Amino acid sequence: MASEVKIPAMGESITSGILASWHVKDGDYVESGQAIFELETDKITSEAMAEVSGTITLKASEGDEVEIGQVVAVIDESAKAPAGGSAPNTPEPASSAPLAPTPAAPNTPGKDLPPSPAVRRIAGETGIDPKNVTGTGKDGRVTKGDMLAAGSQSPSSSMPSTAPARIPSGERQTRKKMTPLRRKIAERLVASQHEAAILTTFNEIDMSAVMNLRKQHQETFVDKHGIKLGFMSFFVKAVVQGLQAVPAINAQIDGAEIIQNNYFDIGVAVGTEKGLVVPVVRDADSQSFAEIEMQILDYAKRARAGKITMDDLEGGVFTISNGGIYGSLLSTPIINPPQSGILGMHSIQQRPVAVNGEVVIRPMMYLALSYDHRLVDGKEAVTFLIKVKECIENPTRMLLNI
């Protein structure tokens, strides 16, 4: 009996994907529950498992674009597992026939040594082949001086060269198709720039209070919850208070209507090798710092392992992006449609600031709020940022919800 392996449904908005890789080879014996291929869509990357055991015959190749429901392999359930667990398609041993001897190249000291960058540059400019130049360097290596001397002796050296510059061996460029996730990111970013009136406003915050609080309670927090207290939970809580103070940022435009969101599902951008994904912390207003930290850590691990699901990514009302982990000092983040705002965090730097008339050194961070000016006025954007600043610089406000 043969069982078909089909591309599974991934959500209503996903109709196709790229078969990124096979974890098995044609003719392999697979076990039920074994991961057999990886599918990459414009939103998530996921693994498909074999539903039955048997010998697999592949019907699609890596890199193919496949439709939802398409048959990509067939598993013959009547096949028996090979003895000892070895795959049935064991490659044939290599031929033991002796290879014909390769003639030895003539001994030309210096000619087989790779030319220096200066020699390659002059060769590209003049068209002179270093192999045709007598080298005076160590072991007969062709030097820059040898190339210049050869150029001055060449009858055509005074004439501009019409020959194309020589390209060193090896590829200077490679070309590959964009992944569905990268294509979707590109489409959404361009659409966001075209459809929204994006404006960015900035502020800076003193991270001393949060850093001292973390230092004071970190050990106890880890002992109780088994996870470190990071910065992101503070910013998630601060953003919630900012949205409560400025509801316009927790809204979105739908045609000629404004949809006001009365919940606080906050997206947290996570960078992966294949692109940026934004899993959502649900009902952040009712979650503790520990619960938020656990969710973010779990999302980050699953995103980088390609285990994120569609449900993890949908429904956010606002996004936080932390470019500071990569060393960014300042940026203007782009809104994640249909949301109306995104907060950009940046690196913490020790900088001189004025406090009570005195210059002191404090750990400072720049914040950037990009917002849709069609819906949010400048006053509301500034009010939101100041609220976030107040919460971070005095974190007890968040604990008391004031």
Helix then strand then coil, % of the chain, to nearest 5: 30, 25, 45
Give the C-alpha separation, 303 to 268, whole Å: 12
Max CA distance (Å), the chain = 87
- For 287, the token pair is 């979650």
Q: Is 185 exposed, middle or buried (0-12, 13-18, 19+ CB in 10 A)?
A: middle
Alpha helices in 114-231 (DSSP H): 117-126, 144-153, 180-195, 208-225
Q: Identify whether 194 is a catalytic site residue.
A: no
Q: Judging by DSSP bridges, how do beta strands 71-76 and 54-58 pair with one another?
A: antiparallel
Give the C-alpha separation, 114 to 136, whole Å: 15
Q: Identify whether 23 is a catalytic site residue.
A: no
Q: Which residues pair with 58 in a beta bridge?
A: 73
Give the C-alpha separation, 391 to 298, whole Å: 25
Active-site residues, by number, are 373, 377
